[in-house]
Chain A
Amino acid sequence: MNLAKPEMKKTREGFGKALVELGESNPQVVVLVGDLSESTMVNFFAEKFPERFIQVGVAEQNMMTVAAGLSLVGKIPFLSTYGAFASCRSLDQVRVTLCYGQLNVKIGGAHGGISVGPDGATHQAMEEISIMRAMPNMTMIVPADFQQTRKATLAAAAMHGPVYIRFGRENVPVVTTVDTPFELGRGIEMAPGGDLAIIACGVMVYEALVAREELLKEGIEARVINLHTLKPLDTEIIVKAARETGALVTAEEHQVHGGLGGAVAECTARMHPVPVEMVAVYDRFGQSGKPDELMAAFGLKSKDVVARAHDVLKRKRRAAA
């Protein structure tokens, strides 16, 4: 791919397109929406399969549990709303009916992250990873681009149990191809390197790849890992990176507490302790603004990844001295 001028595409479109594919291949797939058909792009499915499309209105708690009921008669329900509502408004339903009951419901959490932009803090979901990771039986995916969101959606339908897929609002760089393998719970090494490893999810995978180019100019070789599945966690790829590089930077468009960085730190603390630095939102709410200026203001650009890489390498050298 051309890092300087990448192809741009919406992750939510990957969700919407995959639902149509699923609709064609599996008559049990049904889609529910809470009055956000176009912005979550389930309108593609609605147009093709109106008899399997269920409008629930502005009632996320009911939507979550209606989907649970549909799964009990053999349907494979996908529901979609904004991540802010999917992860918080209806969380009790997710916890008790879906996760405790191990029901086969797939949650499409749209508009994740600060890059939602002008809608401001209420609509910029940045807690989903921490919340969903805390739920037993939940599978949590944060795909990096259009193709990966499409594949994650197909993979969610193929497994049994509750799944949360987080995707964003904006056009984001395409970093994988149609042929890039995708396996739930298996991270992808996007670029090799032995000096440190940058473990990223979502749009931050692209920022990590750009940071890697910058670091190469200084002679630093950073491995880049696309950790699309946050739960179950691919501890193998994390421990391997910790062992082989001795320094990790995590990068996520999400709160620092309990997200990707937290997951990686939990893993390395127990299995192979190394210095870890985290690129994330540091315990604050978002605000209105343009997506790009917000990403910069909240420290979520490649230059922030480069800065944390320098920090972690300092710690690595100090530990070795």
Chain B
Amino acid sequence: MRFTVAFARAVATPASGWCSACVDVLDVSGAGITMMSGGQTGPLCVSSKRMANLEDLQFTMGEGPCRDAYASGRPVHAPRFDAGIFARWPAFVEQARDSGIGGVFAYPMSSNGAKIGVLTLYQDLEGELTSGQHQDSRVMAGVLAETMLSMQDNAPLGVLADGLQDAVAYRAEIHQASGMVSIQLQVPVAEALVRIRAHAFASGIPVGAVAAEIVARRLRLSDDRQELAEGV
């Protein structure tokens, strides 16, 4: 009952508030919701800046619980960052530890086999979720997926529903920067994105911040293929 009431409140709020609602309802330290479309991803919301950086890192590095949960279609549990988990996601684990995260749990958001995205839950302390939390998280991921599909059902074809615009808005600068870099370096947009990610990784700056610099014309990526070779 507690879950139902809290959930009703969660979906009644704009999508940007879903993660805070997940934190309350599921009793975890942090949450992030990411929409996936092939290789393209966009966080719809995060419960705090820490989670924003961690979701961002998974996008930059192409590794982490989010991607694994999406690819396998099954929940991914990392109640503590042991050697096995570290070997799987070295960069993610390093930053997660630095941010004071003890464990992470990712749930694929799907409806009747249609994969929409991933709900990632972060815990400050190490340890498994209770079976109740686990059950509720699975239900929450499914209901959020259905809610997103229903929102999109009411939008004109080809136009992202108003409530889901945040998934792109957050990344808008990254996509704009990709377009700019593709002109600067005369490379396809997809390659431009790889160059931006490589630069972010090499300089230890979040990919969003690099993109913001490019869009503000304070940064131009040099046409140096070396960077790509070293970076990724």
Say whether A associates with B. Answer: no
Q: Which residues of A contact B (CB under 8 A)?
A: none
Q: Which residues of B contact A (CB under 8 A)?
A: none
